[in-house]
Amino acid sequence: MDRFKPAALVGLHWGAKVSTVATAWWPTRYTGGMTTSSRRRLVDPDVSPLAVADVDLDSGTTMPRVPLDGYRSPPRGVYALVWYHDEPVGALTEYGDPRAVLDGLAERAVAQLEQPLLEHAIRDVLATQHGTAALTERETPWHPIPAPTDTTRVTVAVCTRDRPQELRRCLSALRNLVAPPAEVLVVDNGSADGGARQVVEEFPLVRYVPEPRRGLSWARNRALLEARTPVVAFTDDDVQAHPRWVEAMLQTFEDEPSAVAVTGLVVPAELATPAQVLSEVQGGLGRGYRRRWFSSAVELGESAPQRWAASGPGGVGANMSVLREPILALGGFDTGLGAGSPAMGAEDLDLFFRIVASGRVLVYNPAAVVRHRHRESMERLAEQRRSDATGICSFMLRAIREYDGPNRRAIMMLGLRYLARRARQHYRSLRHPRYAPAWLTSEETGAAIRACLRRIDNAAEAYACHQALQHPDEPRIGLPLIPQTDRGKAGSPTKGITLTIDLDHLDDQATQLGRLLGGRTSAVRVQVRQDSIGLRQFTMQVGSDRISAERLRWAVAQELVRSVTPAFRLVAWR
């Protein structure tokens, strides 16, 4: 993380003040129109396209992916997603002639991603009965094959508006799923030309549902009401799902019985334009390659922001699955947020926050993969940045107004951290203008300031009410439930439970840990032993009264990778 220098603070203060305040007061529409001054700054940075490829370490092969509309200029390197046992373990970017880079890329991937590969191999060992012998003996660890999942328990919902070509690609990818879902719903959120209905007619097993109320939250709530299965998987029309996407989502619910929502990894479908490369360089939509659990011990007075520091780690709405009944009980998606409303976004962030604040569990699983087509032009990338900033600020303003004391104070701290990140981004624009253009940073910061000064959250709420009054006969979900902290139990959660686990009986001891917790602690001291020999000890944050064997495996593997024997390194992926 960049550190501020005293001399840079003065320049940052005045530079950010001039660029963002001027942009904030420039008259623009809530729907995201570009200003004239912004158009003059829309010059492509020196960021050349990259070829996108998949590296399969099981077969040692590399498969390049064809861009959807070709390259704007010759690619200068390769962005490769690395797979091991049908799961992504990391990504590599190497520069040079793509044909030369792809040669031998699998071998270089093993060397550069040694730690995540070792963690994966250790998790395989821990999931195998008596498999820990491979930690000390020279034998190849066996990769456990998960039991088949019943995909008839899930409905896939695609919400769309006026993007028939992207919708066709999305549905074509869903048609290639290894295990098909019970149903695919296309919720048309007011397309102007009827293109969505025509595309759906090309896919016999897809059901078309019109939703006249404008806004992504209205469309997603309609999908929850229309679905007939206990699980609903959401994706966007500019996304292509991996063939095992639905299986990975359902497997996560089976691994973590207390989860009510699962999100997954979003990787670029192509990096064929400078805008797409710039979007990925600045973070993209991916959330890493480690599984994460998000929950809070609300019965002890713990607030959600204490466990969930920002929206980033929780995933995005383009790749999420939910249990239908618990989400309906929470009031579904907030119709005052989301694309198509003045708030422009953050409906997924709001739902994830309410899940954690209510004491339920959200899981991020990178094995559930979709490919997203990033915005292909600088104009559309700037529009996306403004939408993101407007949505985040609208969510925070509403949350500060609606949540109680502990949650409100924590959300205010989140807001301060968001402002600090914006300041750091302006500083990076000074140091690295090639990858953090100042005009793009100012667009996002200006949108955030406008959202606060104009109280876009109030305008979005009024807009949602207007949509509901215009269509009184359409089905709807009740108001979103705003969880509150139990003031009588507020305070620091009790700690002190210590669990000693034997690696050969991890599943049984996860059950034992669940009984020990009993809602009395938010952290556990874990001592890992094998054959009466202590290997590691660490503190595991729990945030709930349950813990699964899979969660324990991920935590133990992350610790054990630091003390893996050389013999195990040699045979881990032989």
Encoded tokens for 151: 């995909």
Q: Is the dihedral of CA 331, 335, 339, 340 positive or negative?
A: positive
CA distance 105 to 52: 13
Q: What does the pLDDT read at residue 496?
A: 53
Query: How much is the pLDDT for 342?
Result: 94
- Taking the C-alpha atoms of residue 497 and residue 526, their distance in angstroms, rounded to an integer, is 9
> What pLDDT score was predicted for residue 165?
94
Partners of residue 167 on adjacent β-strands: none
CA separation, residue 100 to residues 76, 95, 550 (Å): 11, 10, 40
Q: What share of the chain is helix, strand, coil (3-state, %, to 5)?
A: 45, 20, 35
The gap from C-alpha 559 to its chain's centroid, in whole angstroms, comes to 24
Go through 511-544 and write b for each residue having 16 or more CB atoms within 10 A of its CB, e for each that does not.
eebbebbeeebbbbebebebeeeebeeeebebbb
Q: How far is Cα 412 from Cα 531, in angstroms, rounded to an integer?
A: 49
Amino acid at 112: Q
- The amino acid at residue 553 is R
pLDDT at 142: 64
Question: Percentage of residues in the chain with pLDDT exceeding 90?
Answer: 51
DSSP 218-280: HHHHHHHHH--SSEEEEEETTEEE-TTHHHHHHHHHHH-TTEEEEEEEEEES-B-SHHHHHHH
Integer-rounded Cα radius of gyration of the chain: 24
Q: Judge whether residue 347 has pLDDT over 60.
A: yes
Report the C-alpha gap between 505 and 508 in whole angstroms: 6
CA 120 to centroid of chain Cα atoms: 20
**In sequence order, what DSSP letters do the residues of 503-533 get, joined into one string?**
GGGHHHHHHHHHHHHTTS-SEEEEEEEETTE
Q: Which amino acid, residue 125?
A: V
Position 311 scores a pLDDT of 46
Nearest C-alpha neighbor of 234 from the set 68, 360, 368: 368
| Chain centroid to CA 14 | 34
Longest dimension (CA), the chain: 71
**pLDDT tens-digit map of 16-69:** 333 333 333 333 332 333 333 333 333 444 588 999 999 999 899 999 999 988
Strands across the sheet containing 497-502: 497-502, 523-530, 533-541
Average pLDDT over residues 545-566: 77
pLDDT tens digits for 508-540? 655 555 555 554 456 777 777 766 666 677 777
Q: How large is the angle between the packed helices 347-357 and 216-226, nearest 10 degrees?
A: 60
The pLDDT assigned to 332 comes to 96
Q: Of 324, 318, 309, nearest to 418 (Cα)?
A: 309
pLDDT at 131 over 50: yes
pLDDT for residue 379? 94
Task: Give the model's pLDDT for residue 9.
Answer: 27
Q: For residue 510, what pLDDT is reported?
A: 58
pLDDT of amino acid 41: 37
- Rounded-to-integer distance, Cα 31 and Cα 300, Å: 42
Range from 103-117, 131-145, 242-256, 333-347 carrying the lowest mean pLDDT:
131-145
pLDDT at 340: 92
Q: Using CA atoms in the order 316, 327, 452, 38, what is the torsion angle rounded to 10 degrees?
A: 30
Pick from 20-34, 340-354, 495-509, 543-557: least confident: 20-34
Of 335, 481, 336, which Cα lies nearest the Cα of 403?
481
Closest by CA position to 164, among listed 206, 189, 190, 197: 197
Task: Identify which of 233-242, 312-321, 531-540 has the greatest average pLDDT.
Answer: 233-242
What is the rounded CA–CA span in Å between residue 387 and residue 169?
24
pLDDT tens-digit map of 417-458? 888 889 999 998 998 888 889 999 999 999 999 999 999 999
Q: What are phi and psi of 169, to 5 degrees?
A: -65, -40
The structural domains of the chain, with segments of one domain joined by +, span 51-135, 488-571
Mean pLDDT throughout 372-382? Answer: 94
Q: Which residue has the higher pLDDT, 302 or 116?
A: 116
What gap in Å lies between CA 510 and CA 553, rounded to an integer?
9
Average pLDDT value for residue range 289-295: 90
- The confidence band for 475, taking pLDDT boundaries of 50, 70 and 90, is very high
Can you tell me the distance from the alpha carbon of 384 to that of 378, in angstroms, rounded to the nearest whole number?
10
Evaluate whether 344 touches 387 at the Cβ level (below 8 Å).
yes
Question: Which is more confidently placed, 7 or 242?
Answer: 242
Query: Which of 138 and 61 is assigned the larger pLDDT?
Result: 61
pTM recorded for the entire structure: 0.86
- Mention every residue, 6+ apart, whose C-beta is less than 8 A from residue 27: none
| Strands 61-65 vs 51-56: parallel, antiparallel or unpaired | antiparallel
**pLDDT of 348 strictly over 70:** yes
Contact in structure between 259 and 363 (CB atoms under 8 Å): yes
Share of the chain above pLDDT 70, in %: 76
Q: Within 13 Å and on the Cβ side, how many CA atoms surround 197? A: 9
d(CA 274, CA 375): 10
Cα dihedral angle (532, 536, 541, 545), rounded to 10 degrees? -10
Would you state the pLDDT for residue 498?
A: 66
